[in-house]
Chains A and B, each alone.
Chain A
Amino acid sequence: AQSVTQLGSHVSVSEGALVLLRCNYSSSVPPYLFWYVQYPNQGLQLLLKYTSAATLVKGINGFEAEFKKSETSFHLTKPSAHMSDAAEYFCAVSDRGYGGSQGNLIFGKGTKLSVKP
Chain B
Amino acid sequence: EAGVTQFPSHSVIEKGQTVTLRCDPISGHDNLYWYRRVMGKEIKFLLHFVKESKQDESGMPNNRFLAERTGGTYSTLKVQPAELEDSGVYFCASSQGLAGSITGELFFGEGSRLTVL
Contacts and interface: CB of A to CB of B under 8 A. Distances in A.
Size bin of chain A's contact surface:
20 to 34
Contacts of A42: 110
B48 interface: yes
Contacts of B3: 43
Contacts of A36: 106, 108
Contact of A105 (B4, B40, B56, B99): B99
Contacts of A44: 43, 91, 93, 106, 108
Contacts of A108: 42
Given A94-B99, A96-B100, A102 B109 contact: no
Size bin of chain B's contact surface:
20 to 34
A43 B100 contact: no
Interface string A2-46: 001000010000000000000000000000100010100111111
Contacts of A32: 100-102
A80 interface: no
A95 interface: yes
Contacts of A95: 100
A108 B37 CA distance: 11
Interface in B7-59: 33, 35, 40-45, 48, 55-56
Contacts of A9: 40
A109 B48 contact: no
A97 B98 contact: yes
Interface string A95-117: 11100001111111110000000
A51 B42 contact: no
B111 interface: yes
Contact of A104 (B41, B45, B111): B45
A90 interface: yes
Interface string A68-105: 00000000000000000000001001111100001111
The 5 A-B residue pairs whose C-beta atoms are closest, nearest first, are: A94-B100, A103-B100, A43-B108, A107-B43, A44-B108
